[in-house]
A and B are shown apart, each in its own frame.
Chain A
């Protein structure tokens, strides 16, 4: 199996929103960062990957099987974190352990309680008393406690303080020590991806703008600090996005080599996303 997830041309039409010909793959043993602004289609795509929504067209293969009809033993190898608590809030961790051990054959209570301890989460308190950060930590603990091959994480670090975010990212890096493991992680906090992502897929208004190797992105994109004259003489096709400041015009380009006389900065993932969106 070359790819953990393979999406080919999926489309889904809603009254207010459309997912349009989305295609990308998550190779085995890699971390795919899935970025885009609110309402871009990240969660819809993730729902389709998890078989929670049937696309109008296109196909999705997850761990070698068709996403909409995965057998239980394949589903069990997918760890999921939604962007909010997906467990009944009247349960506590001890009860959740019993629920999960009845759902997942590979469920490890030892691992689960180990994470609960590591995340300083109470065992007997009902989830309704949990803060947002505690909910996300609980979701991570559950996702990692049934020996998954693939993690699908929808905004797992939102609502977490920097220390806890760093801890979660360390856990994800630990998880990736096994080269058969893969992660698809959607997030607004693109700085998290700088540390862990091998690939980035950027979705905008229901369309995939690009899927690129994170290292190649570092080489490819530059922010040029231009004057108005510099911008005038640039090839318009080279300008991905532009931001005017008081004294300069900052231009995101993938063709910085053509303008060696202009000062260039390496953009962050967030910069690239913002410039693309502004241009769009």
Chain B
């Protein structure tokens, strides 16, 4: 597995560099938004929403590398070569460890982004921020969900031999099946979005985590089945 890790890190260096750049750019952009923002946090739905999204940017750049790597390895047949040397289970385990490592680094980046934005930028007059440490649990929860989604895209990428197609299918299912119903059920009577919808109770997080664990296992078994079947590689 060490060799696969070396190959992964070497071949996907651009994503790690990209994530580092995104991390810096996001903090700079966040500070600028705060500096030029109106003083009343209540009237800044769009800005608050952007702040909410910012911690996810750099981690998502890292997550993108996982499926891209699988797709590239299938196309350049390095996946075939690797599977001639390691067992099917080891191959799936390798990608799972990549996912875990990426998630861990992503969580650290997200927390660092939130803390940096809290520390660097307050609204000029009120002195309050558009993002606070209270947002960390929700941010990390969504980030973990994003990485579980990435993991679910792995077998789909193998089946379709394309990360774009897998992303399209997965995106449509996620968009229409999860995000849209969630937004619609949380829309306020005057038709606007409530920022309160971006908070999740501890109970919801526990249920969500259990669902994520089940989805992770299903995706694992699906990926292992695809690798064993061998149609795609």
Contact = CB atoms under 8 A, between A and B. Distances in A.
Interface of A: 47, 50-54, 68-72, 75-76, 78, 80, 82, 84-91, 95, 98-104
Contact of A86 (B1, B11, B77, B230): B77
A102 B5 contact: yes
Among A53, A71, A101, residue most surrounded by chain B Cβ atoms (within 10 Å): A53
Contacts of A101: 3
B87 interface: yes
Given A70-B87, A90-B11, A98-B3, 12 more contacts: A54-B229, A69-B88, A72-B85, A72-B86, A82-B80, A87-B76, A87-B78, A88-B72, A100-B3, A102-B1, A103-B82, A103-B86
Given A51-B230, A82-B80, A76 B85 contact: yes
Contacts of A90: 11
B43 interface: no
A135 B193 CA distance: 57
B233 interface: yes
A89 B87 CA distance: 24
A99 B6 contact: yes
A50 B84 contact: yes
Contacts of B90: 72
B231 interface: yes
Contacts of A70: 87
A91 B85 contact: no
A90 B147 CA distance: 27
Contacts of B82: 103
Nearest to B229: A54
Nearest to A82: B77
Contacts of B72: 88
B11 A91 contact: yes
B185 interface: no
B10 interface: yes
A86 B80 contact: yes
13 contacts: A50-B83, A52-B83, A52-B233, A53-B229, A54-B228, A80-B81, A82-B77, A84-B77, A88-B11, A89-B76, A102-B4, A102-B6, A103-B86
Interface in B134-191: none
B11 A103 contact: no
In the A-B complex, the 7 residue pairs with the closest CB atoms: A102-B3, A102-B2, A103-B3, A86-B81, A53-B230, A86-B77, A99-B3
Among A52, A70, A82, residue most surrounded by chain B Cβ atoms (within 10 Å): A52
B7 interface: yes
Contacts of B81: 80, 82, 86-87
Among B11, B85, B88, B231, residue most surrounded by chain A Cβ atoms (within 10 Å): B85
Interface string B217-231: 000000000001111
Nearest to B228: A54
B87 A72 contact: yes
Contacts of B86: 72, 75, 103
Contacts of B78: 86-88
A52 B84 contact: yes
Contacts of A68: 228
Nearest to B69: A88
A70 B81 CA distance: 15
B230 A47 contact: yes
A96 to B, nearest CB: 9
Nearest to A91: B10
B6 A75 contact: no
Interface string B57-97: 00000000000000011001110111111111010000000
